[in-house]
């Protein structure tokens, strides 16, 4: 294996709290070797596996190497999850016997030149709430996992483009990442920090970097970051007046994007004609954006699209901390562009990442409204973030041409900062 350093998200804590959530919502893909190893564990009804419950679903490899996913119970839980929400494989044979995918979660490892950076998935509620041991104390475990999953040629992988056709070296790409992280750190409301980052990213999008590199790039980034800090007002009312409301034309792409985040994509049968018809009807209703919102997951109560548009009050302070940590972990962990995000360039990936903010606030408003409230709690936002981040970078739909076009449309309309401010009130 090539030598690489492992950079950990030192602002984050995490330990598993056995909520079983990940075992109910993720597809666990396993190799042929893992399949054979689990099969040899000889699971029977005496172990509590329900009668007639298949353990594996074959995914492919009719001719070459085979691969599989663990089967799901009718309620969407993994075949090995018991009634107490615990893993039967872990209980009987220990942590090491579980599939690698289960041992990696919620961590994610991404190439970053001579190092590999670690990020976390906020679909895990313990990650969202920062519960457990500091990640920096888990270095030995994470190095062990990295040795198993990081490919030999990781230090030779090229960096993502900054924008289409604009290539820079890894050290220069890290300069952009460091500048983003610095903009997102600090005590100001997260919406202000996101708007500053969007402001200087827009300048980067209009610039060429064939002659600006190394120390000169750092100077340039310092200059535009300072300008953005001075230019973006810190008063939300003033910002809302300056920017205006999100455009009507941007409403449909934004709702469709939120509709994707709201979906539950466990392994219920989504291939039948009835299910496809239901999905199509939901798409049409999210496009129209009036009347009742289709209930795409059990956690959402009845609400109309219109009811989510009024002011819901300021974002709770604890939620500000969650958002700041989320964006910094994703940025430092390179979890928004390149290999971690459908091969998308840095700037477009950052626009997508920023859109998580208004999307989460929209979902949080839906959770609150469905519960009969008209203001947001930290729990609403934490739950909405876990729902949204389940998909971000993982749902294949987010890497499609149609989804990317929606993000680009919102960027071109200037709606991304407007949406951030509009749903912050």
d(CA 286, CA 288): 5
Q: Does 30 bind ligand SF4 (CB under 6 A)?
A: no
Bridge partner list, 87:
81
Q: Does 121 bind ligand SF4 (CB under 6 A)?
A: no
- For residue 80, the Cα-to-chain-centroid distance in whole angstroms is 26
Out of 8, 78, 194, 195, the only residue in the binding site for ligand SF4 (CB under 6 A) is 78
∠ CA 46-52-57, nearest 5°, is 110
- Minimal distance, residue 216 CB to ligand SF4, in Å: 49
DSSP secondary structure of 237-261: HHHHHHH-SPPSTTHHHHHHHHHHH
Positive or negative torsion for Cα 383, 411, 192, 207: positive
Phi, psi for residue 362 in degrees, rounded to 5: -65, -45
* Comparison of 106 and 113: residue with beta carbon closer to ligand SF4: 106
- Minimal distance, residue 98 CB to ligand SF4, in Å: 5
Out of 14, 43, 68, 80, the only residue in the binding site for ligand SF4 (CB under 6 A) is 80
Task: Please enumerate in sequence order all residues whose Cβ is within 8 A of that of 106, keeping only pairs 6 or more positions apart, or say none.
Answer: 14, 22, 120, 121, 122, 123, 124, 126, 127
Question: Of 85-93, 123-131, 144-152, 327-335, which part binds ligand SF4 (CB under 6 A)?
Answer: 85-93
Question: Of 10-18, 81-89, 220-228, 302-310, which part binds ligand SF4 (CB under 6 A)?
Answer: 81-89
* Comparison of 106 and 259: residue with beta carbon closer to ligand SF4: 106
Question: Of 2-10, 44-52, 86-94, 223-231, which part binds ligand SF4 (CB under 6 A)?
Answer: 86-94
Out of 28, 195, 228, 376, the only residue in the binding site for ligand SF4 (CB under 6 A) is 28
* b/e burial code for range 97-133 (CB count within 10 A of at least 16 → b): bbbbbbbbbbbbbbbbbebbbbbbbbbbbbbbbeebe
And the tokens for 43?
């699971």
- Minimal distance, residue 26 CB to ligand SF4, in Å: 7
Peptide bond into 106 cis (omega under 30): yes
Alpha-helix residue ranges (DSSP H) falling in 150-213: 170-184, 190-205
- Minimal distance, residue 20 CB to ligand SF4, in Å: 7
Out of 102, 154, 356, 387, the only residue in the binding site for ligand SF4 (CB under 6 A) is 102
First to last CA, the chain: 50
* Comparison of 28 and 367: residue with beta carbon closer to ligand SF4: 28
Question: Of 82-90, 120-128, 216-224, 337-345, which part binds ligand SF4 (CB under 6 A)?
Answer: 82-90
Total of chain residues touching ligand SF4, rule CB under 6 A: 12
And the tokens for 242?
């300056």
Kindly list the strands in the beta sheet with 56-60, ordered across the sheet, starting from the edge strand earlier in the chain: 29-31, 67-70, 56-60
Q: Does 23 bind ligand SF4 (CB under 6 A)?
A: yes
Q: Does 124 bind ligand SF4 (CB under 6 A)?
A: no
* Comparison of 98 and 325: residue with beta carbon closer to ligand SF4: 98
* Comparison of 80 and 176: residue with beta carbon closer to ligand SF4: 80
Q: Does 120 bind ligand SF4 (CB under 6 A)?
A: no
3-state secondary structure of 328: helix
Out of 81, 116, 232, 353, the only residue in the binding site for ligand SF4 (CB under 6 A) is 81
Q: Does 70 bind ligand SF4 (CB under 6 A)?
A: yes
Q: Does 87 bind ligand SF4 (CB under 6 A)?
A: yes
| Residue at token pair 């401010």 | 421
Question: What is the contact surface with ligand SF4 in residues (CB under 6 A)?
Answer: 23, 28, 70, 78, 80-81, 87, 89-90, 98-99, 102
């Amino acid at each position: 294996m090539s030598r690489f350093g492992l950079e950990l998200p030192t602002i984050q804590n995490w330990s598993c709290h056995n909520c079983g959530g990940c075992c109910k919502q993720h597809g666990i893909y396993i190799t042929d070797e893992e399949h054979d190893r689990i099969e040899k564990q000889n699971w029977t009804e005496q172990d509590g596996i329900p009668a007639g419950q298949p353990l594996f679903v074959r995914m492919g490899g009719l001719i070459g190497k085979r691969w599989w996913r663990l089967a799901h119970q009718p309620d969407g839980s993994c075949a090995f999850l018991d009634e107490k929400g615990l893993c039967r494989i872990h209980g009987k044979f220990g942590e090491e016997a579980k599939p690698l995918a289960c041992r990696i979660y919620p961590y994610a490892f991404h190439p970053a030149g001579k190092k590999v950076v670690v990020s976390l998935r906020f679909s895990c509620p313990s990650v969202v709430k920062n519960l457990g041991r500091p990640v920096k104390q888990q270095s030995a475990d994470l190095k062990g996992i990295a040795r198993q999953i990081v490919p030999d040629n990781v230090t030779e992988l090229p960096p993502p483009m900054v924008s289409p056709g604009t290539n820079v070296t890894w050290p220069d790409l890290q300069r952009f990442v460091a500048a983003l992280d610095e903009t997102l750190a600090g005590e100001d409301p997260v919406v202000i920090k996101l708007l500053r980052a969007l402001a200087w990213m827009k300048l980067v999008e209009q610039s060429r970097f064939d002659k600006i590199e190394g120390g000169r790039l750092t100077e340039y980034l310092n200059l535009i970051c300072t300008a953005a800090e001075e230019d973006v007002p810190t008063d939300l009312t003033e910002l809302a007046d300056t920017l205006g409301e999100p455009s009507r034309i941007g409403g449909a792409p934004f709702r469709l994007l939120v509709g994707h985040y709201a979906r539950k994509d466990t392994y219920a049968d989504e291939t039948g004609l009835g299910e496809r018809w239901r999905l199509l009807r939901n798409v049409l209703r999210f496009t129209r954006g009036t009347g009742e919102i289709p209930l795409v997951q059990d956690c959402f109560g009845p609400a109309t699209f219109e009811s989510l548009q009024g002011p819901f009050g300021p974002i709770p302070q604890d939620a500000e901390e969650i958002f700041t940590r989320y964006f910094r972990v994703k940025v430092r962990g390179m979890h928004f562009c390149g290999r971690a995000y459908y091969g998308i360039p840095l700037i477009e990936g950052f626009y997508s990442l920023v859109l998580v903010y208004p999307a989460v606030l929209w979902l949080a408003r839906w959770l609150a409204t469905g519960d009969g409230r008209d203001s947001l709690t930290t729990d609403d936002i934490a739950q909405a973030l876990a729902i949204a981040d389940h998909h971000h970078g993982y749902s294949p739909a987010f890497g499609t041409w149609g989804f990317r076009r929606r993000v680009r449309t919102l960027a071109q309309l200037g709606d991304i900062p407007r949406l951030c401010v509009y749903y912050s009130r």
